[in-house]
Amino acid sequence: MVNVLLITFLMTLFYIAIANRILTFIRVLAVQGVLLFFVVLFQLEEINTFNLILILMETIFFKSIAVPLFLAYIIKRNKITREAEPYLPNFVSLIITTSIVVATILLTNAIKDSALDKIFFIVALSSLFTGLYFIITRRKIVTHIMGYLVIENGVFVLSLAVGTEMTHLVNVGIMLDIFVSVLVLGIFVNRIGNTFEEMSVDNLTNLKD
Amino acid sequence: MFTYYIIFAILLAIGSFFNRNILLRKIMLVAFLLLQTGIAVYGFLNLHKTEMEFFTYDSLGIIFLCVLTILSYTTIYHSYIYLQHRKDNTRNQSLYFFALILLIISMTCVYLANHLGVLWVFIEATTLSVAVLIYHERTQLSLEATWKYVFICSIGITFAFVGIIFLSKGLQGSGSSSLILADIPAHLKNANVFWLKLAFIFMLVGFSTKMGLFPMHTIAVDAHTVAPPPISAFISTTLMNVGFISIFRTYSLMAGTSIQPWMNSILLWCGLLSIFVSVVYILKVNHLKRMFAYSSLEHMGLAAIGIATGGIGYFAAIFHMVLHSFVKASVFYQIDQIHRVFHTYILSKTGNYFSKNITGAIVMLILLISITAMPPSGLFVSEFLIFRSMFEAHQIMALLFILVLFTLVMWALGKNILKMLFVPSSHPIETKEPLKIRPIESVSQFVLLAGAIYLGLNPPAQLVNLINESIMLLPK
């Protein structure tokens, strides 16, 4: 079951690669949050209330509800056009995403560690690198935040793969940090929207020597 | 004690966020400084004590905590002057001090954290709080710089987190899952080398966004350019110390394993490239703050090389960071005065500073000597020790390369600063009347520079002991 969920997660990455509209992008992010919730639920050995609340907060509330709503608000407020405006055509984008996934599969197979959960690892690394790829190839500043969120999801899967047990306090801290950074980034997007006519990274090239 | 520190400091931060009264603000700032001094003194007296489970007063943390505490006094003082002259509205001033206090708290927590996860959490907190300060002038340029800083730092810090995950994967091989710094080295002895290497690379890249090392140096330089000068002083010193302490701790964790020579070569290349890039830009730059930002990059590169070559280099790297903090902070405090005189940071529009502000000009002259590490300067001692460690590590080619580059830096800084001090500007001078600078505003710089010289020539036994203690676990 976990594998099915993870592979669905991987497919959402391909879907983002060819998504034309920003709203689709946001919806996919919300779906990813739900998928992650079920992955964690199936991975959990013992369920106690505190753990459950924490996971619910982290995935459903934060990744699927709060952040998508916030992003939708930013887009509406700044009257951002609906197209994602990638630098590269969708077909090339799809090919690059595929090659990233293939590369991570090859890399993971080369690791000699019997304790490694390969599917987790492949999904995590792929979304890490596709997130970076989305950031590099999109012109809109909002899509940069979305790329950052894809990276965060990848890191989330990675920490599941390794089964790192951070103390709850640290977990809460990490969650809070990511939430606040998305909030701060959103505020700055609003500022950029107020300052410049068009919300594109091409405006941000004045600082140089 | 640490619990009280956190609670009261956060209360003071919130208080200064809502407060609009000038007198009350002054009282709260003084109270915060006393609190900060209290925690530094308490930590120094209770070395190795752990509080709130995740914070330990260890020697490396205490060194940088003391530096931070000293610089908090000067930075808050100069911030006050800076804000007065800008005539900002009181709401922005409140926000400024709110963010500044939060920044100081989170840096304190980074220095004292004994758990990798906690370290990570507070490094992210420094990014968020300093973002507000970088954006203080609210121009288009500061918007651009802040956006880049927050975004790239967040991604960098995410990479560092990936590194921490890899490290814990390596730890699992020996059946441990604790990320307490002191517990890790013992369990890494027979860990899978592959995971360790991955962990080191990711953490180095992630933390170097804070330390400002190549290849993540650009955001720090941009942030210097637009931030208020007292904040540039912080970005260049205590915030870079945050990056340094994280990288140093990461290195110490893995120094006992078989990948140490590999880590050394990575750090050496990182340092060499940082110095090379900084020199290339220092030679052509025409912006006062960017020039000193690149000079910070050069010094960070040197500290990285100090760690890479080992031996006396470990000692010298920490020592260098301490002295560099004092000198570079006074550079940026002085830049604030220069900006008030010329109303610009562009070097070619400045000139004849000696006739406009004589105390400031004398500070600048001493700064030139200090920052280029000419003999009475403390940096001379630490740089000399790093060169010695390179010599002992048989890195003669790298040493020669650096020496040539440093000569170029000396020439470029000397040319630009001396021109600013003595030669009248070739461009028509701004019609704006230069503001009168009170000589008393330069006192802090004299004190810091004298401190740097004194520490270099005659380091007190306590400091030497603290540094020696923090490098005790590293291989000789």
How does pLDDT run across A60-109, given as a tens digit for each residue? 888 899 999 999 998 888 888 777 777 888 889 999 999 999 999 999 89
Compute the distance between CA of residue B322 and CA of residue A99 in angstroms, rounded to an integer: 47
Nearest-neighbour CA in chain A from B340: distance (Å)? 22
Same domain, B319 and B244: no
Cβ pair B177:A164 closer than 8 A: yes
Q: Which backbone phi and psi does B459 adopt, to 5 degrees? A: -65, 130
Same domain, B209 and B325: no
> For residue A185, which residues of chain B lie inside 8 Å, CB to CB?
147, 150-151, 154
Contacting residues for A11 by C-beta, under 8 A, at least 6 apart? none
% residues pLDDT > 90 (chain A): 34
Highest average pLDDT, of A12-21, A112-121, B224-233, B345-354, comes from B224-233
Average pLDDT over residues B216-245: 94
**What's the mean per-residue pLDDT of chain A?**
86
Nearest to B229 by CA among B327, B352, B302, B133: B133
Among candidates B125, B154, B194 on the partner chain, residue whose Cβ is nearest the Cβ of A111: B194
Q: How many distinct structural domains can be found in chain B?
A: 2
Cβ distance B246 to B156 under 8 Å?
Answer: no
Q: Check residue A165 and give its pLDDT.
A: 66
Average pLDDT over residues B87-115: 94
Cβ neighbours around B85 below 10 Å, total: 13
Average pLDDT over residues A3-15: 93
Same domain, B100 and B166: yes
Per-residue pLDDT tens for B378-414? 999 999 999 999 999 999 999 999 999 999 999 999 9
**What's the mean per-residue pLDDT of chain B?**
92
Q: Check residue A77 and give its pLDDT.
A: 87
Sign of the Cα pseudo-torsion (B169, B172, B174, B180, in order):
positive
Alpha-carbon distance values, B332 to B107, B243, B437 (Å): 19, 20, 15
What's the CA angle centered on B235, arms B233 and B240, to 5 degrees?
Answer: 120
Average pLDDT over residues A48-55: 80
Cβ distance A155 to B162 under 8 Å?
Answer: yes
Among candidates A158, A166, A206 on the partner chain, residue whose Cβ is nearest the Cβ of B162: A158
Higher-confidence residue of A116 and B285: namely B285
Between A54-63, A126-135, B203-212, the lowest mean confidence (pLDDT) is in A54-63
Among candidates B128, B222, B284 on the partner chain, residue whose Cβ is nearest the Cβ of A181: B128
Q: Check residue A164 and give its pLDDT.
A: 63
**A115 at the B interface (CB within 8 A)?**
yes
In this predicted complex, what is the ipTM? 0.93
> For residue B151, which residues of chain A lie inside 8 Å, CB to CB?
144, 148, 185
pLDDT level of residue B428 (50, 70, 90 thresholds): low
Q: Which of B204, B223, B258 is the last residue of a domain?
A: B258
3-state secondary structure of A139: coil
Q: Check residue B434 and give its pLDDT.
A: 65
Cβ distance A154 to A128 under 8 Å?
Answer: yes
Contacts with A, B 405-464, CB within 8 Å: none
Higher-confidence residue of A195 and B331: namely B331
Q: Check residue A28 and give its pLDDT.
A: 93
Same domain, B98 and B49: yes
Q: Check residue A41 and give its pLDDT.
A: 85
Among candidates B121, B154, B166 on the partner chain, residue whose Cβ is nearest the Cβ of A174: B121
Cβ distance B444 to B77 under 8 Å?
Answer: yes
Cβ distance B379 to B452 under 8 Å?
Answer: yes
Same domain, B244 and B307: no
**B285 at the A interface (CB within 8 A)?**
yes
Alpha-carbon distance values, B254 to A78, B154, B175, B180, B187 (Å): 48, 25, 17, 14, 10
% residues pLDDT > 70 (chain B): 99
Cβ pair B168:A173 closer than 8 A: no
Average pLDDT over residues A163-174: 73
**A180 at the B interface (CB within 8 A)?**
yes
Between A67-71, B418-422, B432-436, the lowest mean confidence (pLDDT) is in B432-436
> For residue A178, which residues of chain B lie inside 8 Å, CB to CB?
124
Q: Is the pLDDT of residue A180 over 80?
A: yes
Cβ pair B165:A141 closer than 8 A: no
% residues pLDDT > 90 (chain B): 79
* Chain A CA closest to residue B169: A162
Average pLDDT over residues B336-355: 90
Nearest-neighbour CA in chain A from B328: distance (Å)? 21
Per-residue pLDDT tens for A116-158? 788 899 999 999 999 999 998 888 888 899 999 999 999 989 8
Average pLDDT over residues A157-169: 76
Q: Is the pLDDT of residue B135 over 80?
A: yes
Three-state DSSP string of A26-94: HHHHHHHHHHHHHHHHHHCCCCCHHHHHHHHHHHHHHHHHHHHHHHHHHHHHCCCCCECCECCCHHHHH
Please name the residue that has the structure tokens 């609009």. B20
Higher-confidence residue of A55 and A37: namely A37
Between B22-36, B180-194, B460-474, the lowest mean confidence (pLDDT) is in B180-194
Alpha-carbon distance values, B408 to B34, B201, B278, B363 (Å): 43, 31, 11, 22
Q: What DSSP string describes B109-137?
A: HHHHB-BHHHHHHHHHHHHHHHHHHHGGG
Cβ distance B67 to B238 under 8 Å?
Answer: yes
Contacts with B, A 139-158, CB within 8 Å: 141, 144, 148, 151-152, 155, 158
Mutation site for B-interface testing, chosen from A149, A170, A176, A183 by largest number of B Cβ within 10 Å: A170
Q: Check residue B59 and give its pLDDT.
A: 95
Among candidates B135, B145, B165 on the partner chain, residue whose Cβ is nearest the Cβ of A159: B165
> For residue B194, which residues of chain A lie inside 8 Å, CB to CB?
111-113
**A11 at the B interface (CB within 8 A)?**
no
Same domain, B226 and B332: no
> For residue B161, which residues of chain A lie inside 8 Å, CB to CB?
155, 174
Write out the residue range of the structural domain in which residue B422 sits: 284-476
Whether omega before A68 lies within 30 degrees of 0, making that bond cis, reads no
Residue B145 lies in a domain: yes
Residue B268 lies in a domain: no
Contacts with A, B 174-193, CB within 8 Å: 177, 179, 192
* Partners of B190 in beta bridges: none
> For residue B172, which residues of chain A lie inside 8 Å, CB to CB?
115, 162-163
Same domain, B304 and B405: yes
Residue B277 lies in a domain: no
3-state secondary structure of B180: strand
DSSP state of B176: -
> For residue A165, which residues of chain B lie inside 8 Å, CB to CB?
177
* Chain A CA closest to residue B123: A177
Q: Check residue B210 and give its pLDDT.
A: 93
Number of H helices, E strands in chain B: 20, 2
* Partners of B55 in beta bridges: B51, B113
Same domain, B312 and B254: no
pLDDT level of residue A2 (50, 70, 90 thresholds): confident
Contacts with A, B 108-137, CB within 8 Å: 115, 117-118, 120-121, 124-125, 127-128, 131, 135
Average pLDDT over residues B188-207: 91
Same domain, B21 and B149: yes
Among candidates A111, A159, A191 on the partner chain, residue whose Cβ is nearest the Cβ of B143: A191
Same domain, B176 and B289: no
Q: Domain limits of chain A?
A: 2-200
Cβ pair A184:B128 closer than 8 A: yes
Q: Is the pLDDT of residue B351 over 70?
A: yes
Average pLDDT over residues A177-198: 84
Between A174-178, B130-134, B260-264, B294-298, the lowest mean confidence (pLDDT) is in A174-178
Structure tokens given for A51: 């753990």
pLDDT level of residue B26 (50, 70, 90 thresholds): very high
Cβ distance B216 to B208 under 8 Å?
Answer: yes
Same domain, B307 and B221: no
Q: Check residue A197 and give its pLDDT.
A: 72
Mutation site for A-interface testing, chosen from B162, B181, B347 by largest number of A Cβ within 10 Å: B162
Same domain, B117 and B185: yes
Alpha-carbon distance values, B123 to A50, A178, B104, B108, B361 (Å): 26, 12, 11, 10, 36
Higher-confidence residue of A89 and B111: namely B111
pLDDT level of residue A48 (50, 70, 90 thresholds): confident
Q: Is the pLDDT of residue B77 over 80?
A: yes
Whether omega before B375 lies within 30 degrees of 0, making that bond cis, reads no
